[in-house]
Amino acid sequence: MIPALPGDIFHEGQVLNNTWAVEGVLGRGGTGEVYRAKSLVTGRVVAIKALSAGFSGDQGYLELMRREEAMRDILHDAVVRYSDCSRTPEGHVFLVMDFIDGPALSEVMAERRLGVRDLLIVAHRVAEGLVAAHARGVVHRDLSPDNVILRDGRVEGATVIDFGIAKDTAAGAHTVVGNQFAGKYEYAAPEQFDGKAEPASDLYALGALLLAAARGEVPFAGATPGEMIRRKAEPLDVTGLPEPLAGLILWLSAPRIADRAPSAAAVVARLDALLKGGEAAPARKAVTPRQSQRRAGGRRGRIWLIPLLLAVVLAGGFFAARSLLVPDLPLVQPWRLEAAGGEAPRLSGPAPDAANAGRIAAAFAAATGSDPPQDALALARGMPTPGWAEAVERLFPALQGLQDWTVQITDMRAEIAGSAATPAERDAIAARLAEWAQAAGMELVPRLATGPAPLMPVDLDALLAGAASCGPLASDLPAGGGAPGAAVTIRGALPDAAAAAALAETLRPALGDRALRLETETLSPSLCQIRAAAAGLPEGGIGIRLSEAGRPEPSLTGIYRPGDNPVADVLIPAELAATPGAELWVAVEETGQVFNVLPNAGDQETRLDRIGQPEGALRRVRVLWPADDPGLGQGRIAFRVNDRDFGKAGIFAFVTRGPLFDERRPGDESATAFAEALTARRAAEPDRILAATHRILDLRP
């Protein structure tokens, strides 16, 4: 544990949830801290990850914590076990997980070099943990040496932690959390720079962390975004590393997903063979895959050829003997062929001989109208079945009518993607491919769509902007665009069901047959007016903490029922609150009316250096008070939920440079008048508002 500091979230001896007694600080990061604690009930020692108050109100970081807490359904010895996610009365969200007693791999590699066998054991453990996580649909996204703990210092106890990407404690590695990228640049897979994270991304990170551990240093990923992207397009440099470690790293971290290890389970199987077969012990220089294959091929088959060769030599046919030898071709495993149509046709892969290579190339040319390069197909050994090449030749005619198609055949598995002009054409192509796969004995993975193949965020954002009538609408479409057939999720708020139906109709031509998921909430027209007027304002780290006067713990849902007395505090980062001239304006919308609660007739003070209370790195300003507060009527406002005005209300907070409005607003006014005044203020002085946020109060019977 490390020494405590005055600004720590928790302190030694503090008891959380009447259960966890804090024993000390294990680590600190930019977003929070990790503590060691013990259960007062069972004596179980745990680690507690706590978010700073400023991040505990941030929905992005809360989502990361929720993602991590969802890991508690994954029970595997190589994955840290999670048990609970809670919030303190002060607003700090914390996560309870197993305490893994041992150093991080990053600490060990800084002190000494691990041997090849030790690194393969670590890789085996991590891959086993990834098998368990990926089976539940969980991608780590931030696998690195500081997220692998060696339990009791043993490589056999390697355990994966930190599935939430909610901290950045690794020295020399930079964790980024955002809409487009999550993970550490040094260990992130190329596709993560496009906002995509999938199981194969974790395998790339495993290869990169093995390289880092073998060399004892964080791999250099580039100093600028452009350099990072260029480096990620190239294989990792394994020069000087021994086999089989070098080959394993290259297999795990291939820049293209198609060339990468197919799954964590496949990695476990390969490591099983290496470790059980004792191949990890020799420490010889790394060789290229082609050199390795030729050496292996050269050893096999020579003994039984000796009598035959001798007989031929004795007969005077030495040169004829060479024609009986198996050609010195590289062994390719897995046996993978890739092809694509469209505007940039391409073909690459192995072929067993020149005759089959010629027939495959001719079939490809007939399907695309483009002859492949002469070296597109390389002669090799390792074809999975005798009829494999003939099956590939028969595939290309079956692709007729499929637009922008791509084919990837790995051994006896064929993944085929593309789009058709109509559903009927798509179904006809799918039937032909299914017939082909059955005849060839192939496993078919079709990804056939109808409609436009590319869908770029800029195009979708333009459609959403035109349909946004209740604040901004956002999608989960990645930066590189959406693949045909992939679902698209839209989040935000809409005024009614008719608006949702109209939005779906607007998006339908662009989406084609992609599934549309509308994860939108319905808000009243008056709430939508104000949200639309405030659209695009920066949040600046401010948040609103809701609770109920009789229940001091924070209300994460914002649900209140008749008789409840909502209490609200605005939480503002101290740095923002210290901005010269910074002021706070708070308004509550309910049933079409806006109540200006700060400033109000009884309290005109809005200067942040004069109101509220410091609370760690935040300044807390109470704006809705308990109904029994003795200061009511002196500028303090409270209300109770009645038994008739049900629906959704909103509380809006604005941090401004100077007052939000130059003129004094009435105590209550129509939502329309407030929204119009806010719109006019933003137009007249765009930089007046420094930050803004809001919370929805759901008033239910």
Question: Using CA atoms, how far apart are residues 330 and 15, in angstroms rounded to an integer?
Answer: 64
What is the tens place of the pLDDT at every residue in 59-78? Answer: 655 555 555 555 666 778 89
Given a cut of 50, whether residue 263 has pLDDT beyond it is yes
Contact status, residue 548 vs residue 564, Cβ threshold 8 Å: yes
pLDDT at residue number 279: 42
For the record, the structure tokens of 259 come out as 């060339």
Kindly compute the dihedral angle of the four CA atoms of residues 483, 186, 288, 199, in this order, to the nearest 10 degrees: -40
What is the tens place of the pLDDT at every residue in 312-342? Answer: 333 333 333 333 333 457 877 788 899 999 8
Question: Using CA atoms, how far apart are residues 533 and 527, in angstroms rounded to an integer?
Answer: 10
pLDDT at residue number 171: 33
What is the tens place of the pLDDT at every residue in 518-533? Answer: 888 889 999 999 999 9
3-state helix, strand, coil in the chain (%, to 5): 35, 25, 40
Q: Which residues contact 601 (CB under 8 A, 6 or more apart)?
A: 667
Sign of the C-alpha dihedral, residues 129, 131, 132, 137?
positive
Question: Using CA atoms, how far apart are residues 445 and 686, in angstroms rounded to an integer?
Answer: 52
pLDDT at residue number 283: 34
Closest C-alpha among 587, 583, 574 to residue 616? 574
User: What are φ and ψ of residue 423, in 5° steps?
Assistant: -60, -35
- The answer to whether the 15-98 and 528-699 domains have the same CATH topology is no
pLDDT at residue number 268: 93
DSSP secondary structure letters along 109-143: HHH-PPPHHHHHHHHHHHHHHHHHHHHTT---S--
Question: Using CA atoms, how far apart are residues 61 and 30, in angstroms rounded to an integer?
Answer: 12
Closest C-alpha among 544, 502, 530, 516 to residue 653? 544
Band of residue 697 on the pLDDT scale cut at 50, 70, 90: very high
pLDDT at residue number 72: 63
Contact status, residue 31 vs residue 167, Cβ threshold 8 Å: yes
Could you state, in order of their start, the residue ranges of all structural domains in the chain? 15-98, 105-158+170-286, 336-450, 457-522, 528-699
pLDDT at residue number 181: 39
* Segment holding 41, helix H or strand E: none
| Among 110-124, 298-312, 422-436, 678-692, the least confident range | 298-312
Name which residue leads in pLDDT, 441 or 482. Answer: 441
- Within its chain, how far is the Cα of 670 from the centroid? 42
Taking domain 105-158+170-286, whether its CATH number is 3.30.70.141 is answered by: no
For the record, the structure tokens of 623 come out as 């704006």
392: left (phi over 0), alpha (psi -120 to 50) or beta: alpha
Q: Mean pLDDT throughout 473-486?
A: 71
pLDDT at residue number 339: 93
The per-residue pLDDT of the chain, averaged, comes to 82
Return the top range by mean pLDDT from 155-169, 172-186, 244-258, 269-283: 244-258
| Among 180-184, 229-233, 446-450, 673-677, the least confident range | 180-184
pLDDT at residue number 223: 56
What is the tens place of the pLDDT at every residue in 429-468? Answer: 999 999 999 998 889 999 887 765 567 788 888 899 888 8
Sign of the C-alpha dihedral, residues 132, 136, 139, 142?
negative
DSSP secondary structure letters along 501-546: HHHHHHHHHHHTT--EEEEEEE--HHHHHHHHHTTT---TT-EEEE
The percent of residues in the chain predicted with pLDDT above 90, rounded, is: 44
Relative orientation angle of helices 525-533 and 671-684, to the nearest 10 degrees = 10
Q: Mean pLDDT throughout 230-259?
A: 91
Question: Using CA atoms, how far apart are residues 318 and 308, in angstroms rounded to an integer?
Answer: 11
pLDDT at residue number 434: 93
Given a cut of 60, whether residue 514 has pLDDT beyond it is yes
Contact status, residue 568 vs residue 544, Cβ threshold 8 Å: yes
What is the tens place of the pLDDT at every residue in 637-662? Answer: 999 999 888 899 999 999 999 999 98
Residue type, 76: H
What SS3 class is residue 79?
A: strand
Taking domain 457-522, whether its CATH number is 3.30.1340 is answered by: yes
Buried b (16+ CB within 10 A) or exposed e, 31-44: bbbbbbbbeeeeee
Kindly report the CATH class assigned to 15-98. Answer: alpha beta
Given a cut of 70, whether residue 294 has pLDDT beyond it is no
Question: Using CA atoms, how far apart are residues 167 and 65, in angstroms rounded to an integer?
Answer: 10
Band of residue 299 on the pLDDT scale cut at 50, 70, 90: very low
For the record, the structure tokens of 33 come out as 């801290």
**pTM of the full structure:** 0.41
The percent of residues in the chain predicted with pLDDT above 70, rounded, is: 83
Given the candidates 1.25.40, 1.10.3470, 2.70.50, 2.60.40, the CATH classification of the domain at 528-699 is 2.70.50
pLDDT at residue number 458: 82
Return the top range by mean pLDDT from 170-179, 190-199, 467-476, 666-675: 666-675
Whole-number Cα distances in Å, 138 to 130, 156, 159: 9, 23, 16
Kindly compute the dihedral angle of the four CA atoms of residues 284, 286, 290, 295, in this order, to the nearest 10 degrees: -10
Taking domain 336-450, whether its CATH number is 3.20.20.70 is answered by: no
Q: Mean pLDDT throughout 616-627?
A: 92
For the record, the structure tokens of 675 come out as 């929204």
pLDDT at residue number 29: 66
Q: Mean pLDDT throughout 210-239?
A: 79
